[in-house]
Chains A and B, each alone.
Chain A
Amino acid sequence: METHSPLERLLRGIALTLVCLFFMFPIVWIVLMSFQTNETILRVPPSVVFMPTLENYTALITGRLETAAGTLNIDFMGNLWNSLFLSTTSVAIGLLLGVPAAYAFARLKFRGSEDIAFTLLSFRFAPPLLVLLPLTIYFQQLGLANTYGGLIWVYQLIVLPLILWIVRGYFEDIPADIEYAYRIAGHDFWSTFRRIALPLAGPGIAAAGLLSFIFAWNNFVFALVLASADKQPVTVGALAFVTASGIQYGQVAAGIVLSIAPTFALALYAQRYLVEGLSLGAVKG
């Protein structure tokens, strides 16, 4: 066991507090803001003492935004639902396509496998704006603009490379002989994939799924251009809070709290997998 002097412990405590403050302060501040009216938020100097109000949340949930310029109808809950639906479906499809592909890239040697894998990765290199204009035109001609299907398709550009490359590394880390041992004991290729490779790569798959969910959830620009109001996720929907009578900080804050809640909960639940999954080489033979 390591032993520490009291001074060392004190310094360590201060350092940890500073780090926590640095990372947690914005989140705490947003949560505080979400329980305040625009007036208390904007007062100078700012204060942490205020009368909490739920009106921001009520406005979001009922969809009626009261501003100085009048009542505005917003569809925040619709946006939240869109985010949830788009991200979940995209990640599900991404996993369905990406995990077997990652396995193939890791295990099977075929002509051009490296080139194909790299091409898929390179989707992540291109700035989204570069492909948006041609995509918009194609989508309009194909009738995919402003459809969930179209958006989910485009979201594959985000989730598929991520899943493919993280999970591939995982499959490569599993000694092939474990799978051979299973196959020679009387199992076919498919059941070996299901019963040996998938469970052993489990943490990696969970991490890849979680990360790609967060990336999909946070996407802004694809949804902004390719979807209109009724299909838009929260990231785009939040623009509605920038109204004629100013920015509704209270509602923006409440919106942020609501929209980070699902990913936050998911990350908390799966943080064990996330850490395990991203520290490659965690699987031992």
Chain B
Amino acid sequence: MTNKASVSQGDLADSVSARTVSAHGLFAGYEPRSNTYDEHFSQKGVARKHVELFGEEFARIRPAEFRERWRQAQRLVHENGITYSPFGDPHDQPRPWNLDAIPLLISSQEWRVVSAALEQRAVLLNRILADLYGPQELLRRGLLPPEILFSHPGFHRPLHGQRVPDDVFLHLYAADLARAPDGKWWILADRTEAPSGTGYALENRLVISRMLPDIFRKCHTERLAPYFIALQEKLHSLARQHRDNPRIVLLTNGPDHAHYFEDAYLARYLGYTLVEGGDLALRNNQVMLKTLGGLLPIDVILRRPNSGSCDPLELEGDSQVGAAGLLQAVRCGNVSFANALGSGLVESPIFMAFLPQLARILLGESLKIPGVATWWCGDPSVLKFVLERLDRVTIRPAFRQRGGGKRMSERLNSLPREELAARIKARPRDYVAQEQVSRSSCPAWMDRTMVPAHVTLRAFLVSSNDSYKVMQGGLARISPSTQPPPASSWEGEGSKDTWILSEGPVRPITLLQKPGHAIELRRGGVELPSRVADNLYWLGRNLERADAAARVLRALTLRLTSEIPWAAMVEIPVLLRVVAEQGQIEPGYVVDGIKEHLPSIERVLPNIVFDLSQPMSLRSTIERLCRSASIVRDRISVDSWHIIHRIDERFRPSATGHVDLSSLIELFDEVIIDLAAFGGMVMESMTRTHSWRFLDIGRRVERCMQTIGLVKSSFVDVGQVQGPILEALLEVADSRMTYRSRYLANLQMAAVLDLVLTDETNPRSLAHQLLQLVRHVEALPRDRSKPLYGTEQRLAMAALHAIRMADVHELARFDQFEEDDPLRNLMTELEVTLPRLSDAISHKYLMHVGPAQQLSTIRPE
């Protein structure tokens, strides 16, 4: 680091005082590295001025108490399920977010200086964007080499000439900062496409402020909320129609993307609908949200996908994350994007080589904080300079491809020097060289001691009036190694909350306060996107499927571990048949002549339960349950999410991998109780919107199917109905208590069938499920002026009617369950009707028309 222009704020803070404080307690053994600027200590045992108060307060916490608080904080991270890797890839388990216990502390005095520099940089980058997408004066005046645009893979011609409100392309900007040994800040990288990390910064704050509530307040820590309020105001102001009450959505790449956790989290925090490309439709050059209640216009899109993915008609044709015609809607002024499409252009490292000069010419000032020195190899004299210094610089691709940048850079710099030089010489304009960066350090709590870790800081800005507003905080990333910093926060080894410490008291502020506006009361939920309704429906189905599987497995395992000889238990073949019908075990286990050749069930059962290669194993069902819950996380309560998370955590084989039947029973008990808790949460804490309705429809449909399967399996191939079979049926159908209270131990077929099938007052009966389904279907949005019932209404009513018209005494006159047996007929009829009902609902409310296709074209010949 040689640039002399840099400010030195660290010196300023230190000169005032160097009292020896806070060197006791947990910081006692902390030793800052030599030749490195330490953010908290100017030397061993000497805290920097702005850290003193924190140090004093922190020292009051006894080590044992700290460790307990930290354990609780980690539990919170864990329960909130903060992760940063794809949900979708089964081979890549989401890794938990790695948060450090000690916040990074920065004085507000210093942060003001950093903020001014970042505002300057954001303004400059926006000016460059406005020029390159407009008059391109910078190329004509020779201020930027034309290659910067013409060989930029992210420069999409159709985006040129778009008009954006107030010429602001860059609404959200993030910069990665590091501090050199002399205390000067440097900017390592710019993020202008769709900067990520604010959601993680929020989560970090939530956890750490809860862990250190007193210190957080006493240290006058600035709040993050003003940044998000400014963001909301900005997005609101971008609406060109419906200015009073614009519809703002967060467009995500979807649940398979690494940032989905953050997208869902932010959407909920900011109060916006989370949408995917498939939720959008274009009508009359207006972007619409596909909802249960029809198409609703969208005014502003907070964008997470890359610009090029947003419109398969005009940009990248193979993309499914955007919607065809979006760009035309932008041109017509019917929708605004934040950031504007194309904003990612200037985050390529090549621009850093030209920013110092552009700042002087466009703004008439030098950069307040310099970027790390960058040389573009496309200039022949620079190329020579770089080739002479290959050992001392880092080579990076000049044009950033979002996602693959870091690996590419690592690969390049691990090449033998001659090969690297040859690569650069072959296409010099595709490479930049950057000065190698050393970073400051900060105490981190690792393995029960304080050790110095290297820090980089991501700061966030949002455009506000003519300039930018900086978040009073940020996302600090730490790594114990001295390697160059990771290219993105997801690849770093850990993160820290960042506290900006104010001189005076900080006004508490939350997103909930909307001064001066009386809120318009709303009930409803027709705005539910069809895709979300679909996911909720499947969440409901997976819940019941898991419950049914666990209950029958428990009934079976209880009997397998009983003292009675198996041969004496007539219900075991019945239970095996149910388990086989559910697809959990091989059908061979219920076929005489085959089952003798299979390994004994009690030996294989534990493995079968956890076998992920079997799609219908209980563990597989739970995987699907967790996945469907994670997709609709922004629609279910935090407590409900914790239950799902707990099921996922607990329902696993022990660490040794060995599970015996009795511990299996314990696991079944737990999962059944947890599922019931989730069901209770749904009933008690979800408002009766369509979200709830679709979840419940899924549950009811699945419970019907399971009950039908149970009844069929209980009576097919059974010579004579015996008490133990009826007992098992009641047990699995969770109706044993009711039966006992009504009939004591007198087990009779008609009474059992009444309770399980026709008794509408039993919330477990088939009739009850069908009655609820009829009511749900009736309440779905539809054109009320149409005189006839819809298909889904007729099917639901037909099913309910069939069960109501059934005479249990006749059903109980059990006759081998052969053809013409009334019970069998009834079950078969319902078994046909219910999937049709499910299809009818899907078809009308949930189904997408399928992925968009490109028209084929004919080439000129």
Q: Do A and B bind each other?
A: no
- Chain A: residues with CB nearer than 8 A to chain B? none
